[in-house]
Structure 1
Amino acid sequence: MTESIDEIRIERAQGIGFIALNRPKALNALSTSMLHAIHGALDAWRDDATVHAVVIYSPHPRAFCAGGDIRFLYQSAKAGERAAIDEFFTDEYRLNHAIFTYPKPYIALMNGVVMGGGMGISQGARKTGGVRVVAASTKLAMPETRIGLFPDVGVSWFLARTPGAIGRYLAATGATIDAADALYAGLADTCMEDDSLAGLVDALKEKTFATGAEVVRFVEAQGRPDAGKASDLERNRVFIDRHFASGNGAACLKSLESATSGPEGEWAAHTAAELRERSPLSIDVSLELIDRAKSSSMAETLRRDLGLTRATFDHGDVMEGIRARIVDKDNQPAWKVTHVEAVTREEVLRMFDSPWTGPGHPLAALAD
């Protein structure tokens, strides 16, 4: 059984539901139709006794998924179509929650670029008893502070549960990490060679499985627990914990700029320069978001994310960030607050004022 739209291919074989992302020119950035197709397939397979597990993958070597359709959101905002933006994020976050709470093993094969929304449709796999597979080509990131956003799609829940201050560091800087880093941070479960990863889907379609656990064991047996190289996050863990464990963006920068010698000084100077390029307001929002996610359920996290998306489009930096980084590509964003030291606590808390509360929230039905 195979179904397809232009951007996605859905099929069943050997007791597995397969979802292939097929929008290579956009690095598989998620469109509304892709969100609906993935969610529809998961709903159809949820109570189907002949489907034991789900595998989501990209047949294209450059990317698993580069995120949401940022250009669509930008154009919608320019046209004053607030409802379209709210609908996109609501649909995306419902899908993220459906994956996180899926009753069957969900397996994400993460090759190439895995950013933003790509993290949202992969990280929940572990909660289902499934597997997150990475490869040498894998590059993971939540780079939202570069465009005035924040690490959404529920990923703050996962970042809040990484070792030490790694989650706060990744959220604030938007740093890209590789397979070794993802394994160390608990954002991936096993590693395979890219050639083997490409052949895994074919192997899964040829072998018969009686249970989801059998599918998971087969996938895990093809991988290994390390990436064959050292993790930069592990090597720099002491520095990360020292400078990002607490405080807002200004505090982190002050700490970084106090380190001036040796390997720590070099790392700190590079990291401080990265932070200076990000949206100051988004840095503080992102750090606050990680701190709040530490004691939140996934449903609470996603409801918070939805309110924040409205705030970032209404009075945040996201429109200017998208213009500068993606549309005009001049890389000269004019942030509303020009320096991280100038961000006030009141401005940060204002971003967390959601227009929706209680049963009127679009995501009120998500189970905690």
Structure 2
Amino acid sequence: MRPGTPPVRHFTPHIRFPPHMDSHIATSRTGTLAQVVLDRPQALNALSLGMVRDLYRALTAWRADPAVQAVAIRSSSPRAFCAGGDLRFFHEACRAGLHGGAEALEDFFTEEYRLDHLIHHYPKPWLVLMDGIVMGGGMGMAQGGASCVRVVTERARMAMPEVNIGLFPDVGGGRFLSRLPDHVGLYLALSGEALSAADAVRIGLADFLLPSARMPALLDALQQAGDGDVRACIAEAAVSVADADWIEEEGLSANRSAIAQHFAQDSVAAIADSLRRDDSPFARRTLAAMMQRSPLMLCVTFRQLKRARELSLADCLRMERSMIRHCFDHDEVLEGIRAAIIDKDRQPRWQPAHLDAVTETMVERFFEPAWPAHLHPLRDLA
């Protein structure tokens, strides 16, 4: 082992996890509108491999169907649009053995990233109707390209909190977070804090704010709309953020200048030092949140966003796919999921435990190629 290299978990060979058999996806078409309903409410619509595969299959079929002019995706529950991936599955598969046989874990991330790439380049309007929690994989499906129309209700809470469990903001998170103004993306990535619906619109992670009571009427209108009318239907139903004083704010807007100041630093340690010198409630709260995260993954995430800023989506997803492989070779993610989901003691034992013990070698290991270029599982993404 090279000096400064984090310990690598040794896996048990020849164990295979089957794909999830119940996909929890409902699809339909009314008029020119196709719909996807995420229906796994007991798990906050956490994505399984089966769900990813059914989504990809449906979107591919509708892309070629001239009768479908737009596709909408929503949840069957107001609690969550999608809370990300299935963390219990990740933990079980990782403990059993990634390289030795848990092919479903490898397949999940490869196919999820392919789905995000398909969504980003989808040729028809992709309408994302977000109510409740939107995290991780849910954000990946919501941050599409030019055809994506993102609608949030007053109950929406958007976040990329992967550092909480020893991971990094994947599903293209490096790309869409690094492009947010005033270092807000880096703040969201390192703190794991959630955005209110109004703030999501203000910073460009959502397009329209819709009172949840208007959602049924909007769906009816969308089903009757012709080609090109979907954005107009949404705009007519939506409300101005400036008039949304009925939404409980989370405080991002009030702290934009502080975020721009503290998160403009050139390292995680410098950000932490800047926050320590500020005695405001925001700075104290943000520093306390960061100090609960994995020091190693804070530094990895910082570098990820710096690199992703100059990458295409395809190259960003390829980088993140290699990073994910390295993460599941390392103990941090297992420990993070254990503390948050399995034992629920909220006391992760991070290695290393402090920022000043994180070395350049530890961080750079996550950016080494996990495969030769011609064997990368996402090598064909355009």
Under a length normalisation based on structure 1, what TM-score does the superposition of the two structures give?
A: 0.93
Give the aligned partner of residue 268 of structure 2.
249
Where does 1:175-254 land on structure 2 (aligned, <5 Å)? 175-205=193-223, 207=224, 209-211=225-227, 213-226=228-241, 228-229=244-245, 232-254=251-273
User: Aligned partner of 1:166: which letter?
Assistant: V
Shift of 1:303: 0.5
Shift of 1:198: 4.1
Give the aligned partner of residue 10 of structure 2.
none
Question: Which blocks of at least 5 consecutive residues in structure 2 are unaligned?
Answer: 1-21
Residue 285 (str. 1) matches residue 300 (str. 2):
yes
User: Aligned partner of 1:47: which letter?
Assistant: A
Q: 2-side partners of 1:276 and 1:231: how far apart?
A: 20
Name the SS of the counterpart of 1:18 in structure 2.
strand
Under a length normalisation based on structure 2, what TM-score does the superposition of the two structures give?
A: 0.90
The superposition leaves residues 168-206 of structure 1 with CA deviations (integer Å, 9 ceiling, x where unpaired) of 11011111111111011100001011111244223323x
Residue 96 (str. 1) matches residue 96 (str. 2):
no
Give the aligned partner of residue 133 of structure 2.
113
Shift of 1:297: 0.4
Name the SS of the counterpart of 1:17 in structure 2.
strand
Give the aligned partner of residue 337 of structure 1.
352
The percentage of aligned residue pairs carrying the same residue is 44
Give the aligned partner of residue 171 of structure 2.
153
The question of whether the paired residues in 2 share the 8 Å contact of 1:130 and 1:216 is answered with no
Choose the corresponding residue for 1:135, options 125, 135, 153. 153
Shift of 1:232: 2.4
Shift of 1:48: 1.1
Q: 2-side partners of 1:121 and 1:177: how far apart?
A: 17
Between stretches 137-146 and 155-164, larger displacement belongs to: 155-164
Shift of 1:345: 1.8
Name the SS of the counterpart of 1:348 in structure 2.
helix
Shift of 1:316: 4.8
Choose the corresponding residue for 1:11, options 15, 21, 28. 28
The question of whether the paired residues in 2 share the 8 Å contact of 1:168 and 1:287 is answered with yes
Q: 2-side partners of 1:310 and 1:348: how far apart?
A: 14
Residue 347 (str. 1) matches residue 351 (str. 2):
no
Q: 1-side partners of 2:216 and 2:320: how far apart?
A: 33
- Mark the CA change 1:301 to 1:316 in structure 2 (over 3 Å): closer, same or farther: farther
User: Aligned partner of 1:210: which letter?
Assistant: G
User: Aligned partner of 1:38: which letter?
Assistant: L
Give the aligned partner of residue 8 of structure 2.
none
Shift of 1:359: 2.1
Shift of 1:86: 1.3
Q: 2-side partners of 1:194 and 1:337: how far apart?
A: 44
Choose the corresponding residue for 2:142, options 122, 137, 141. 122
Choose the corresponding residue for 1:306, options 321, 326, 329. 321
User: Aligned partner of 1:130: which letter?
Assistant: C
Q: 1-side partners of 2:39 and 2:306: how far apart?
A: 35
Q: 2-side partners of 1:197 and 1:232: how far apart?
A: 26
Q: Aligned-residue CA RMSD in angstroms?
A: 1.6
Shift of 1:13: 1.0
Q: 2-side partners of 1:231 and 1:65: how far apart?
A: 20
User: Aligned partner of 2:371: which letter?
Assistant: W
Runs of 4+ in 1 over 4 A off after TM superposition: none
Give the aligned partner of residue 377 of structure 2.
362
Residue 68 (str. 1) matches residue 85 (str. 2):
yes
User: Aligned partner of 2:62: which letter?
Assistant: W
Question: Which blocks of at least 5 consecutive residues in structure 1 are unaligned?
Answer: none
The question of whether the paired residues in 1 share the 8 Å contact of 2:53 and 2:111 is answered with yes
Q: 1-side partners of 2:159 and 2:95: how far apart?
A: 27
Q: 1-side partners of 2:378 and 2:28: how far apart?
A: 29
The question of whether the paired residues in 1 share the 8 Å contact of 2:221 and 2:233 is answered with no
Shift of 1:41: 0.6
Number of equivalences: 355
Name the SS of the counterpart of 2:123 in structure 1.
coil
